[in-house]
Structure 1
Amino acid sequence: MAMEAPLVHALEDELPGIDNQAQLLGGKAAGLATMARDLGLPVPPGFVATTRVCHEFLARGWQPELDALLRAHLDRLATKTGRRFGDPVAPLLVSVRSGAPVSMPGMMDTLLNVGMTTQIRERLAEESENREFAADTWLRFNRMYAEIVLELPREQLQRAAEHDGTEQSMLAAAERIRGLAIGAGGVPGEPFDQLKGAIQAVFRSWMSERAIVFREKEGISADLGTAATVQAMAFGNLDDLSGTGVAFTRDPATGDATPCGDYLARAQGEDVVAGSHKVLGLEALAHQLPAVHAELLDVLSRLEHHYRDMCDVEFTVSAGKLYLLQTRVGRRSPL
């Protein structure tokens, strides 16, 4: 008897009886599951609200039974990480990323640092002994939530988010954004409400104008839906031993078998892919963190061997430790 496709699925769990895992988990989570479960690569633990949930949400709204499923998977994350979502003493923050069954780069939404509160911000400052990191993470969360979930105008938020890099300046910017958000319902103070809002925003992004236009141009069916991948945060903005980047197993323009990519120190993933910051090549990572660079090169080699094709990878380095956030067969430049 065929196994019923799950609504929520842990990345490390097997999926017996499901032939097309990407159709259920989305391409992003299917790639993460392969790296974590099959290749033993360093992937932050997490789970997926599958395309089944997306279809049901878009048709009937949020169903109450999903709350218990999410809480059960958050409990599993607590067991794996030793940190608990919403806990002010040992807090766990998560990312929520869209992942359609087919690649739609830049078309749908991602939220980082979900689970932040003022108490947790203070705890991060104490734990890290880095108050600027905690303030930066708080500002990033509020800005992304206001833009993606509450749908405030990006230009307005960019102006409100301006700061000089000091803790007080970043906290003031976050308060400006929270003030703007009040008229749209406000940024929730309860972490679980933040998580639900983020997942729902990811599902709504499947029907965003830019996603619809992209699907029509690429001949992608609207019936596929998207999944929402929830993972423990890895903080590329933590310190000088942290950063984020994108790497290719070989040059996508020439096919030359030399890995290449972009790296940005003390940053989070969206800083690289959004094109909002000046990035450096992988040689910057080799200079700053040679052991991490060597580990990344080994990962790239293993991925190309596994997929037997050129791959691209999104990665974060947090306090000198490498984490992989995505892999997919890369797009080559046209001849």
Structure 2
Amino acid sequence: MILTDPAAFLAAFDEERFPPRGPSTARAAFTVAPADFSLAAESARDNRYMDLSAAPDPLRALAEHAGLTRRIGADLPTLCFPGDPACPDGIFPNNVFATVPGRLIVGRMRHAVRRREAGRADIRAFFTGLLGYRTIDLSQESFVAELTGALVIDRARGIGYCGLSERCDRAGARAMQAAFGLRLMFCFDLAPGEYHTNVVLALLAGRSAIIAPDGFADPAVPDAIARAYGGRAVFIDAAQKRAYAGNAISLTPQRVWMSERAADALTPGQRAALAGWGWSIGSVDLATIETAGGSLRCCVAEIY
């Protein structure tokens, strides 16, 4: 079922109808190391978060990324694949690769520079040859579906929140609902200039949320999402969104991870709200990596 009306979504979101029935967080994760870190000018056409004026230090980016992989490895097993200089956005694998139990999903990227990543034989072979996963390959389709960049998922309930933009069209949304086996998808337009849902919305283990209201075309959408989770939502402003406070992820039911810049942008009241809902905050310095237009959540691909 795909719904586009906020009122219809709220009417459908019912604990008895969609009770938690699966794991709310991943069992492992993987990252892709930066290789000769640089900015992909092609991606900047629809990613206003990129800073093309920056001259990032590749060694600093590598050190930041190593720190990220090590730190989140304290919460769950995390492996790191080598980077490819021909794929400068490869450090953001969650847009290209995603999983559900027993299945690897490969996304259909908008830009050619990112479509190269989808063909990586080593990542595909890890899942098919080692883990025995079946592949659902969307990479050669005509639609656009940038996986868990465009789609934020309540994994426990099987409910997806899909923001439409240049990085995901309606056909791509339908294909992702089928690929992920979602029981319900709430589909909506992002605000003009927004490229990925996971910059304006984070769902934390299916029990609370971080929401940037100005990232949605219809203000009723973020309100409906917050109400669905009993008001357990931290609303962030435009400056906090720009600092990537919405680009967060829960890898266990106790901790939310975000960049240091994002964590520093939170107010004491917002921190207290997250703590009251059972969340500690883990943060990692990603200042160099963030010049490429993504942050911590974009760097982490989950393995279910």
TM-score of the superposed pair, with normalisation by structure 2:
0.28
Larger proportion of helix: 1
Q: Which has the higher contact order (CA 8 A, sep 6+)?
A: 2
Greater gyration radius: 1
